[in-house]
Structure 1
C-alpha cells in the first residue's frame, strides 16, 4: 500500500517510509492512498476476537510485504500488553478506559507501537533517527517511555514551560539517556510550529534523519483505530451494534483514528468531537469556517490546541466535503467550570472519577443523549488516569486520590530539561549541536 500527502505534492511512499519521514516533504500529513475496507464477516465477528487479534487484522493491509505477519504479531503483542476495560457508568453510557498502559494515558497505544517499529527499522537501516515531539502533556511521557533506551533512536520532546501537570513533566523530563526534554517559553502551538519547521528545513534534514512521534505520524494514528473496534467487540457481546463515540479532542488524532476505523467498515452511528474552550473544530461543525487561532490555557491542558494538525486528515477522509463531515461528527465545547461540575457530579452520583479531558467527552455524550434519545449507546474515550490531574480533581471531590506506586517513583526523580525560546533558529542550532 502507498501513502500520499494531504497536500498532494509529494511522491507516494510505503508505510515505514511515511513513518520515518513523519511529515511529507510538501508539509502535508501522510494518509493511505486508498482506505482498506475489511469484509463484513470480520466486523460481525469482532466479539470472538481479542484486542491483539483485532489489531493484527486492521494493521495488516497497511504493511503489505514490508513487515512479515510474524514480525507484525510480535510488535502488537509486545506493544499492547495491558488491559483495555470498558466500564458502564450510567444507563447506556460507557467509558472506554485507555489509561492502563505504562504511563497511564491513551498515548501509550501509539507510542509503544511506533517505538517497536522504529527499533526494527533502525536495526535494518543502521542509521540513527531523531524523533521530534511537540506535546501538551501525555504524548511526551508516553513517547519518552516508549522509546527510552531504544537503540538507534534519539528523542527530543518540546513542551510549553509551566503548562503541563507536574506528574506529566516529571514522567518525560527525568529519564535522560536518549531522551531530551525542552521547555519552550510559549504555548503548545509554538512547540508544534517548531517541529513542523524542522521537518521542512533543508539544512537540518541534510545533517540528521528526523521523524516525529506526534499524531502527525501515520504510525501513531493507525493504532488509535484499534481500540474503537475493540470497544465495538465488547458491546457486541451486550447486544449493542452501533455506538456513538465521544472523543476528547485536542490535536484530533484520536478522533481521526476512529474515523479511519469507520472508513475501514467498522459499525459506528456517530462521532462527537468534545473540546474545551479551544473550539475551532466545534465552531466549524456548527457551520463556521475553519479558523485557527491562538490557544487558551485550561485545566484540560492536552486539549489546548488552536490549530489542530489532524483536521486536514479528517478533510481527506471525507473528500473535503464539509457537509459529509458535519453529518458524521457533532461538536461540543465546555468551559473549565462545566468541566469541574461534570467531574464533581459523576463522582457524587456514581463514585466514578474522570480526568478533566474525559469529563469533557462524558459531558458531550450526555448532552447528545439528551438531544437525541437517552437510550442511544455512547462510548466516551477516557484518555488519562485521574491521578495525573489530582490537583484539579481533589479540589472538586474533597478527598485525596491515591497515587499508584509506579507513578510515585517519578515524582521523586531529578528533572533534566533545557529551556528554549520560540524562535526556530535557536531550536535548529540546538539540534545541530546535539547531533
Structure 2
C-alpha cells in the first residue's frame, strides 16, 4: 500500500511509514494512491458475513502488499473481538441503530485504537527502541488508546488529561491500568494538554532520546478500521 500527501502527490510513502509518522512533514494528510473496490457479489451478500470477515475483506484489499494475509487475519481477530450489532429502534420498525459501544472502553474509538496498536506492534522489531505514544484526551480517546495499547510489547503510552474535566469512569479507564500505560492529570484544559503534546514533538533533544508518535485520529491505521462497520 502506497500513500501520498494531500499537499504533494509526488510524496509517496509505504504503509508502515504513514503509521508511525501519522501525518506528512508538509502537514497534509496521507491518502492511498489506489483505493480498490469491493466486488459486487460481496456487497450483495454482506449480511451473511461476520464483522471480522468484513474487516478482513476490506483490510486485505488495502493492505495485501504491506502485511501477509495470514498475519493480517491474526491482527483483525485480536483487535476486533467484539460486535457492532445493528438494532431496530422498535419491534417491526424499519429504523435501525448501529451500536459501537461494545468494545472495552465503551466508545467507537476502540475500533481504531485496538487496530492501530496491533499494527504498530507488528511493525516494531524486538530490538527496536521502545515506541512512546503521547496522547492528549478529553475523555473517549484516552480510554480507548489506554485499553488498546495495554500490554502491547515495545510500547509505552503517556496520556494527558485535564483535571476535573473527564467523567469518573473515563478517569478510571486512564489511571487504573498500570503496565505500559501512564496517565498525567494536568491542571488546565484539554487545549493545555494538547499544547504539551505538541511541545514534546517539537523538542529536538527529546526526540533524540525517545521515539515519539501519536495515537492521532488522522493516523491511517485508525481510519481504516472505522470503515469496517460502515
User: What CA distance in whole angstroms lies between the structure 2 residues aligned with 1:36 and 1:70?
Assistant: 20
The number of aligned residues is 228
Instruction: Say whether the 8 Å CA contact 1:159–1:188 is kept in structure 2.
Output: yes
Which residue of the other structure, out of 147, 150, 157, is the alignment partner of 1:148?
Answer: 150
Asked if 1:120 corresponds to 2:122, the answer is: yes
User: Structure 1 residues 202 and 10 mapped into 2: Cα distance closer, same or farther (>3 Å)?
Assistant: farther
Query: Which 4+ runs in 1 deviate beyond 4 A?
Result: none
Instruction: Say whether the 8 Å CA contact 2:126–2:154 is kept in structure 1.
Output: no
User: Structure 1 residues 48 and 128 mapped into 2: Cα distance closer, same or farther (>3 Å)?
Assistant: same
Instruction: Say whether the 8 Å CA contact 1:149–1:178 is kept in structure 2.
Output: yes
User: What CA distance in whole angstroms lies between the structure 1 residues aligned with 2:196 and 2:62?
Assistant: 29
Which residue of the other structure, out of 177, 183, 200, is the alignment partner of 2:179?
Answer: 177
User: Structure 1 residues 197 and 9 mapped into 2: Cα distance closer, same or farther (>3 Å)?
Assistant: farther
Q: Show CA shifts across 1:117-153 (max 9, x none).
A: 1222223662311111122212111111111122210
Shift in Å at residue 193 of structure 1?
4.0
Shift in Å at residue 10 of structure 1?
8.4
Asked if 1:8 corresponds to 2:14, the answer is: no
Shift in Å at residue 167 of structure 1?
0.6
Q: Show CA shifts across 1:362-420 (max 9, x none).
A: xxxxxxxxxxxxxxxxxxxxxxxxxxxxxxxxxxxxxxxxxxxxxxxxxxxxxxxxxxx
Instruction: Say whether the 8 Å CA contact 2:79–2:111 is kept in structure 1.
Output: yes
SS in 1 for 2:188: coil
User: What CA distance in whole angstroms lies between the structure 2 residues aligned with 1:111 and 1:66?
Assistant: 19
Counterpart for residue 20 of structure 1: 20
Asked if 1:33 corresponds to 2:48, the answer is: no
Shift in Å at residue 154 of structure 1?
0.6
User: Structure 1 residues 10 and 214 mapped into 2: Cα distance closer, same or farther (>3 Å)?
Assistant: farther
User: Structure 1 residues 61 and 203 mapped into 2: Cα distance closer, same or farther (>3 Å)?
Assistant: farther
User: Structure 1 residues 133 and 14 mapped into 2: Cα distance closer, same or farther (>3 Å)?
Assistant: same
Q: Structure 1 unaligned segments of length 5 or more: list them.
A: 229-435
User: Structure 1 residues 221 and 7 mapped into 2: Cα distance closer, same or farther (>3 Å)?
Assistant: same
- Structure possessing the higher radius of gyration over alpha carbons: 1
Shift in Å at residue 225 of structure 1?
0.8
Q: Which structure features the higher share of strand residues?
A: 2
User: Structure 1 residues 9 and 25 mapped into 2: Cα distance closer, same or farther (>3 Å)?
Assistant: farther
Q: Show CA shifts across 1:214-242 (max 9, x none).
A: 312111111011011xxxxxxxxxxxxxx
Instruction: Say whether the 8 Å CA contact 2:88–2:95 is kept in structure 1.
Output: yes
SS in 2 for 1:144: helix
User: Structure 1 residues 23 and 200 mapped into 2: Cα distance closer, same or farther (>3 Å)?
Assistant: farther
Q: Show CA shifts across 1:194-221 (max 9, x none).
A: 4345445444333321222231211111
Q: Which structure features the higher share of helix residues?
A: 1
- After superposition, residues 272-421 of structure 1 pair within 5 angstroms as none
**Two-structure CA RMSD over aligned residues (Å):** 2.2
Counterpart for residue 59 of structure 1: 59
Q: Structure 2 unaligned segments of length 5 or more: list them.
A: none
User: What CA distance in whole angstroms lies between the structure 2 residues aligned with 1:134 and 1:93?
Assistant: 36
Counterpart for residue 220 of structure 2: 218
User: What CA distance in whole angstroms lies between the structure 2 residues aligned with 1:202 and 1:23?
Assistant: 18
Asked if 1:74 corresponds to 2:55, the answer is: no
